[in-house]
């Protein structure tokens, strides 16, 4: 008679197991599990084994002990685009040969990705770029420092347990999860080619490589402008600029120099808080020159819907601006909040839906201002909701600023002569996420999301036709993380 444990594992296999002939047709099938029917929730699992210190490696071992080893992938050994290309090519061959099992499995397939927000963004970009006929929905396991993506969709922000019971519990949640569409965003940076010196905005290894962001487009690309260098990328959670990105840049720089000190999530978060103090984020009026305030750095324009660009007024005191897609920032805070009925009527503001084709644009004066997010109904300075947003940087008192995409920061040089640097963000498309019931992300298409929230009464203050190349994030095919880059930084 089988033990309870073996019965439990048998259920896991019947619910989540993918046979070897679908995943690796050239591999030996002698030990393959024979399933009586198509699994309820077949999953592909991608794990950044270098995320979360030792946890990534432990998680990899546990998933492989429970499932077919061929359906669990270490991102340090194989990239997601190569895995998915191979899998879907084989699925097409099997379906053309009349394999009903393969047809049903493709319809039920789900993806799990374990790592930081950078790792999750990498996989989301790959799935977007491959333009699959039936793209699988994606669940994210929090293994990073901020974990904004998993938190927004109900998967938590604390590193998960890595034992069998914890993994089985997570798999059951994935099986019960609902699908939710999420907007994705294209970001373009254009600057005039310098008369001398390097044309790269930043040293290659300081680029936010995990986000397939800001690789230079070729001279033949329709996005290119003669005499300029154009970079493009994509994001799902947020783009921020200013002092919050400066603190993040200090954290990432310190982690790059001393990676052995950043193997614990709690230590990472306390280090981040310490750097916020030492960088002057809590006393910005004393340590942060007003020349680096957003209004002094850039002219900002927005397009609310399809129509004309309009200037966006930025208060002089704003030191950081966040363009937010998800209701999760800096480890789970919600800078936009939920505007009450008066704000919705008078300022044409709405709750922050993740699939409405709009970014929420929020400003902060300093970290103390940011801490109002911890209070009931707290939020930053709501500036606008926009379908597109453009930053134009001209010569000024500052020679650089700091920018950040989905947790990955960089130091951005600004014009030193009469040139202009332009950063433009536009709605790109949507990806399918997996979300727990009751998660904080809300959908335009979910009736339960449309509830009245009139307790928040405080206030501090159709797709364009785009070229095919702009519709790519560059994660698959055109983008590859350099061999010399340690993917433990993708968290």
Residue extents of the structural domains in the chain: 9-177, 184-435
Position 458 scores a pLDDT of 47
Comparing CA positions, the residue from 179, 70, 74, 89 lying closest to residue 132 is 89
- What pLDDT, on a 0 to 100 scale, did the predictor assign at position 319? 81
The reply to whether CATH 3.40.50 applies to domain 9-177 is yes
Q: What are the tens digits of pLDDT across the range 123-173?
A: 998 898 888 889 999 999 998 877 889 999 999 988 889 999 999 999 999
Widest distance between CA atoms in the chain: 81
| Regions in the chain scoring below 70 on pLDDT | 1-10, 28-31, 33, 193-222, 224, 227, 251-292, 331-332, 339-346, 366-379, 397, 418, 447-491
Query: How many CA atoms within 13 Å lie on the side-chain side of 79?
Result: 18
For tokens 């669940």, what's the residue? Answer: 139
> In this predicted model, what pLDDT tens digit does every residue of 198-250 receive, in sequence order?
545 444 335 444 344 455 666 666 676 776 777 778 889 889 888 777 777 77
Per-residue CA distances from 209 to 150, 279, 314, 390, 408 (Å): 20, 24, 30, 22, 8
- Please list the residues that pair with 392 across neighbouring strands: 299, 422
Q: Give me the sign of the Cα torsion angle 110, 116, 119, 122.
A: positive
This prediction has a pTM of: 0.80
User: Beta partners for 400?
Assistant: 413
Task: Answer positive or negative: Cα dihedral of 312, 318, 320, 325.
Answer: negative
Fold of 184-435: Tumour Suppressor Smad4 (2.60.200)
Cβ 365 vs Cβ 393: under 8 Å: no
- In angstroms, the CA 69 to CA 158 distance is 26
Rounded to a whole number, what is the distance in angstroms from the first to the last CA of the chain? 45
User: With helix as H, strand as E and coil as C, how does the chain read?
Assistant: CCCHHHHHHHHHHHHHCCCHHHHCCCCCCCCCCCCCCCCCCCEEEEECCCCCCCHHHHHHHHHHHHCCHHHEEECCCCCHHHHHHHHHHHHHHHHHCCCHHHHHHHHHCEEEEEECHHHHHHHHHHHHHHCCCCCCCEEEEECCCCCHHHHHCCCCCCCCCCCHHHHHHHHHHHHHCEEEEEEEEEEEEEEECCCCCCCCCCCHHHCCHHHCCCEECCCCCCCCCCCEEEEEEEECCEEEEEHHHHHHHHHHHHHHHCHHHCCCHHHHHHHHHHHHHHCCHHHHHHHCCHHHCHHHHEEEEEECCCCCCEECCCCCCCCEEEEECCCCECCCECCCCCCCHHHHHHHCCCCCECCCCCEEEEEECCHHHHHHHHCCCCCCEEEEEECEEEEEECCCCCCEEEEEECCEEEEEECCCCCCCEEEEEEEEEEEEEEECCCCCCECCCCHHHCCCCCCCCCCCCCCCCCCHHHHCCCCCCCCCCCCCCCHHHCC
Cα separation of 422 and 267, whole Å? 37
Alpha carbon distance 232, 213 (integer Å): 6
The pLDDT value recorded for residue 391 is 92
Among 89, 67, 79, 80, which residue's Cα sits nearest to residue 18?
67
Task: Please say whether the beta carbons of 81 and 130 come within 8 A.
Answer: yes
Amino acid 411: pLDDT = 81
**CA–CA separation, 139 and 152 (whole Å):** 11
Q: CA separation (Å) from 253 to 91, 347, 402, 458? A: 43, 40, 13, 37
Please answer whether residues 169 and 203 qualify as being in contact, where contact means their C-beta atoms are separated by less than 8 angstroms. Answer: no
């Amino acid at each position: 008679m089988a033990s309870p444990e073996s019965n439990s594992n048998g259920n896991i296999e019947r619910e989540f197991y993918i046979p070897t002939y679908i995943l690796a047709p050239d591999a030996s099938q002698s030990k393959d599990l024979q399933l009586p029917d198509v699994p309820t929730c077949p999953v592909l699992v991608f794990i950044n084994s270098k995320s979360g210190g030792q946890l990534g490696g432990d998680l990899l071992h546990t998933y492989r002990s429970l499932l077919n080893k061929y359906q669990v992938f270490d991102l340090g050994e194989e990239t997601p685009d190569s895995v998915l290309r191979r899998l879907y090519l084989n699925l097409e061959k099997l379906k053309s040969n009349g394999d009903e099992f393969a047809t049903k499995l493709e319809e039920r397939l789900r993806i799990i990705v374990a790592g930081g927000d950078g790792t999750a963004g990498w996989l989301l970009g790959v799935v977007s770029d491959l333009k699959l006929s039936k793209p699988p929905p994606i669940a994210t396991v929090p293994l990073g420092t901020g974990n904004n993506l998993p938190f927004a969709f109900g998967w938590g922000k604390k590193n998960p347990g890595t034992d069998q019971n914890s993994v089985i519990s997570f798999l059951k949640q994935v099986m019960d999860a609902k699908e939710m569409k999420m907007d994705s965003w294209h970001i373009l940076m254009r600057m005039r080619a310098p008369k001398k010196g390097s044309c790269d905005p930043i040293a290659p290894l300081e680029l936010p490589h995990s986000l397939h962001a800001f690789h230079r487009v070729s001279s033949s690309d329709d996005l290119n402008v003669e005499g300029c260098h154009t970079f493009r990328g994509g994001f799902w959670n947020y783009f921020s600029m200013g002092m919050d990105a400066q603190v993040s840049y200090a954290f990432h720089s310190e982690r790059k120099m001393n990676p052995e000190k950043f193997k614990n999530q709690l230590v990472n978060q306390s280090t981040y808080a310490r750097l916020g103090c030492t960088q002057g984020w809590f006393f910005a009026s004393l340590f942060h020159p007003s020349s680096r305030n957003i209004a002094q750095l850039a002219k900002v324009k927005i397009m609310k819907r399809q129509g004309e660009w309009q200037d966006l007024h930025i208060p002089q005191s704003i030191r950081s601006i966040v363009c937010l897609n998800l209701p999760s920032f800096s480890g789970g805070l919600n800078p936009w909040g939920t505007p009450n009925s008066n704000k919705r009527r008078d300022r044409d503001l709405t709750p922050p839906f993740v699939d409405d084709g709009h970014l929420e644009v929020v400003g902060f004066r300093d970290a103390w201002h940011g801490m109002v997010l911890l209070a009931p109904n707290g939020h930053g300075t709501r500036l606008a909701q926009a379908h597109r947003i453009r930053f134009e940087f001209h010569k000024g008192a500052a020679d650089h600023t700091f920018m950040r995409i989905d947790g990955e920061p960089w130091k951005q040089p600004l014009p030193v002569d009469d040139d202009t640097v332009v950063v433009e963000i536009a709605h790109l498309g949507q990806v399918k996420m997996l979300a727990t019931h009751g998660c904080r992300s809300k959908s335009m298409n979910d009736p339960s999301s449309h509830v009245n929230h009139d307790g928040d009464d405080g206030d501090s203050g159709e797709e364009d036709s785009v070229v095919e190349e702009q519709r790519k994030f560059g994660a698959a095919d055109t983008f590859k993380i350099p061999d010399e880059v340690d993917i433990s930084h993708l968290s």
